[in-house]
Amino acid sequence: MVDENAAAPNADQVAYWNGENGDKWARLQARLDALFAPITAAAIAAAAARRGDHALDVGCGCGDTVLALAEAVGPLGAVTGVDISAPMLAVAGHRIAARELTQAAVLRADAATEPFAPGSVDLAFSRFGVMFFDAPTEAFINIRRALKPGGRLFFACWRPFKGNPWFHAPYKAAVPHLPEQDKVDPEAPGPFAFADPERVRRILGVAGFGEVAVEPFDATLTFAPSGAVEDALEFLVQVGPVARALATGTEEQRAAALDAVRARLREADGPEGVRLGAQCWFVSAVG
């Protein structure tokens, strides 16, 4: 279970995802599910969950991938979604109940340290949920213990910040108008902690995984319908690096930054909507 003690592993992440940000992501659940839909569909297909599998969904958030995995494994399988965020898990639990998916459940726990039953899982899956571990090697050792012999690991993570227009383009537009932003350790827990594929391979290898494969996956994300730039702007400034950048500076600086982001989104507005590219790694391995 999650340890709320400030000295516990991943304490900063526990606090982050159980405070205002967890509430915000829970509130934006439908919007985020729609945004990530092309990545989710491809990741679920690539993970190849089988009927009857027992799956662990690490960092399951509001449950979108739990629902998809539950459909894939069927009523004879089982899916446990694990997350540290109480607000997001509350949404996930309601969605599971509404669909009457008796093969699915959620657990508020830290997958890095939770004592899962050894050898109980066929597939450990994650969509953007494994990049936040304080000690990633130890976390993956713990996840591997839960896998049956020959069990599979699959996760999606982000490629580098500058190669992800949906993160980088709004941020790049905003920051010239704001105070200098703090430098970020590229290996610190966060969205881009696994951007370096060699780091991913090294961590998984030390954790005891074999047959590690890291493959690129590109998608185009739709933020709003065509012509709805203000809607896209309102959403985008709530999530990601641009949201943190816009929390700095004076009111005048923030207004100028917002105007710059708005102009960038107008450039991204086309017949199919306000759209920006995204780049991921699809990582697979055998325990």
The answer to whether 252 and 66 are in contact (CB under 8 A) is no
| Alpha-carbon span 195 to 174, nearest angstrom | 23
Would you list the DSSP string of 72-116? HH-TTSEEEEEES-HHHHHHHHHHHHHHT-TTEEEEES-TTT--P
**Each residue's pLDDT tens digit, 1-48:** 665 544 456 788 899 889 988 999 999 999 999 999 999 999 999 999
Instruction: Give the architecture-level CATH label for domain 11-161+184-222+277-286.
Output: 3-Layer(aba) Sandwich (3.40)
**Each residue's pLDDT tens digit, 182-237:** 888 889 999 999 999 999 999 999 999 999 999 999 999 999 999 999 999 999 98
Distances from the Cα of 286 to the Cα of 45, 46, 92, 168, 201, angstroms: 17, 14, 28, 33, 12
The answer to whether 191 and 167 are in contact (CB under 8 A) is yes
Q: Give every CB contact of residue 146 below 8 A, 6+ residues apart in sequence.
A: 56, 116, 117, 118, 119, 120, 121, 124
How deeply is 262 buried, as exposed, middle or buried, from its count of CB atoms within 10 A (0-12, 13-18, 19+)?
A: middle
pLDDT attached to residue 5: 46
Would you list the DSSP string of 230-258? HHHHHHHTTSHHHHHHTTSS-HHHHHHHH
Classify the phi-psi angles of 250: left when phi > 0, otherwise alpha if psi is within -120 to 50, otherwise beta.
beta
How much of the chain exceeds pLDDT 70, in percent?
Answer: 97
Q: So where are the chain's domains?
A: 11-161+184-222+277-286
| Alpha-carbon span 73 to 54, nearest angstrom | 7
Q: What is the mean pLDDT of the chain?
A: 95
The answer to whether 124 and 65 are in contact (CB under 8 A) is no
Token couple for 55:
């799956």
| Alpha-carbon span 130 to 238, nearest angstrom | 22
Q: Of 101, 149, 161, give the one whose Cα is nearest residue 122.
A: 149
pLDDT attached to residue 240: 84
- The backbone torsions φ and ψ at residue 217, rounded to the nearest 5 degrees and listed phi first, read -140, 130
The pTM is what?
0.94
